[in-house]
Amino acid sequence: EGARCIPSSLINIDWLNGNFTIDTVIPSWFEAGSQYIHLDVLENNTYYLNSESISRQIFIKLNVDFEWEIAQIDESGNKDVFGSITIIANDTGLGVPGVSVTYTLKNESNGQLANPLTVVTDPSGVAGFEFNSDPPYGDYDRWGYVYVDAIISDPIISDNSQIQFESLRSSEEFNPKYKFDEEEVKVPTWAYVLLALVAILAGVGVVIYLRRANNELLQEAAEVFAYTAELLAAGDSIREAIFNCYQNLCTVLQQNGFLRRDFETVREFEVAIRQAMPQISDDALLALDNMFEMARYSRDEMGAQHQQAAQMALEKMIQEIANLSAIPNR
């Protein structure tokens, strides 16, 4: 009456020299602690077994996780030492009630500061604690650094979980964090003046550096366009010269931080050009874009007309870059 069967899918039977071992994971509906298990064996002619029914007392332990919380101690605010341990069953994810936890408050010298406090976990598996005193134990000037030692010796906690808890216990997880008020330090006036001068000099240095870097980028881009124009004028392959121009220009933009190295679209390239040289005209940009698209998508043999269009686009870019005075800071 009231008995429930363990599904065969959870049972493993190993035979060895006429003996057998039964291995199973106890279902979550089994209560932890001392229980009885009943085993019914049917007659088995293959193994020459008679039928039998036996009962055995077993002790069920739980694999659990531990969640630890302890409040931070603020010098000008909270100075009480309080927190909790939550014990959660692995199989159900629910809190384990009725487990005794003993807390002891200690100082840096491992000296006991208060009587041990034993708390039983509530229905949610939480065992909270609080240590109070006047002055409070969190008063660093009076007590120094304090920490909480916790002991759980309930037999329903599995050996593996006990090892896990001892590892947590030996760490610094049970030490409250301290937050001290910052000491007011008077800074002399000359220090502020010196700091302001340093900031001004640093700002001037940054401006000079950016201007120099921007001028270098302009020069590099102009050299790419000029070199491509020379190749076209010398009669080199139009498509190859334009492709080399595109690749070299991408390298210049990438090295100066305007274009991602793994960019994928023409739109990204166009945006990068505008960011690097915002005063460039739409006509020049469109002509350059058309030049690259002509080389990329045209299936026709590229002749004198294509060469002339490409040279005009390059010359327009060279002229407009020469008129730019600077590139904006990125």
d(CA 241, CA 87): 71
Instruction: Report the DSSP pairing between strands 52-60 and 64-70.
Output: unpaired
Compute the distance between CA of residue 105 and CA of residue 131 in angstroms, rounded to an integer.
8
CA 141 to chain centre: 37
Reading phi first (left if > 0) and then psi (alpha if -120 to 50, else beta), residue 271 is in: alpha
In angstroms, rounded to a whole number, what is the distance separating the alpha carbons of residues 224 and 76? 65
Specify the pLDDT at position 210: 55
Residues of the chain with CATH 1.20.120: 189-323
Was domain 64-179 assigned CATH 2.60.40.10?
yes
pTM of the model: 0.47
**Tens of pLDDT, residues 72-99:** 888 777 778 899 999 999 888 899 999 9
List of E strands, 132-272:
146-151, 178-179
- CA torsion angle for 309, 315, 321, 324 (degrees, to 10)? -110
* CA distance linking residue 218 with residue 213, whole number of Å: 9
**Encoded amino acid at 225, one letter:** F
Query: Which portions of the chain are predicted below pLDDT 70?
Result: 1-2, 183-186, 203-215, 264, 325-330
189-323 adopts what CATH topology? Answer: Four Helix Bundle (Hemerythrin (Met), subunit A) (1.20.120)
Single-letter residue type at 62: L
Residue 324, Cβ neighbours under 10 Å: how many?
A: 17
Which phi and psi angles does 272 have, rounded to 5°?
Answer: -65, -40
Of the candidates 76, 290, 82, 321, which has an alpha carbon nearest to the alpha carbon of residue 184?
76
pLDDT at 214: 61
**CATH 2.60.40.10 residue ranges for the chain:** 64-179
Specify burial of residue 149 (Cβ count, 10 A radius: 0-12, 13-18, 19+): middle
Q: Which residue intervals of 174-237 are DSSP H helices?
A: 189-233
- pLDDT single digits (tens) 242-299: 889 988 989 988 888 888 887 767 778 878 877 887 777 888 888 888 888 888 887 7
Q: Quote the DSSP letter at residue 327.
A: -
Tokens describing residue 268: 């990204």
The CA distance from 328 to 278, in Å, is 8
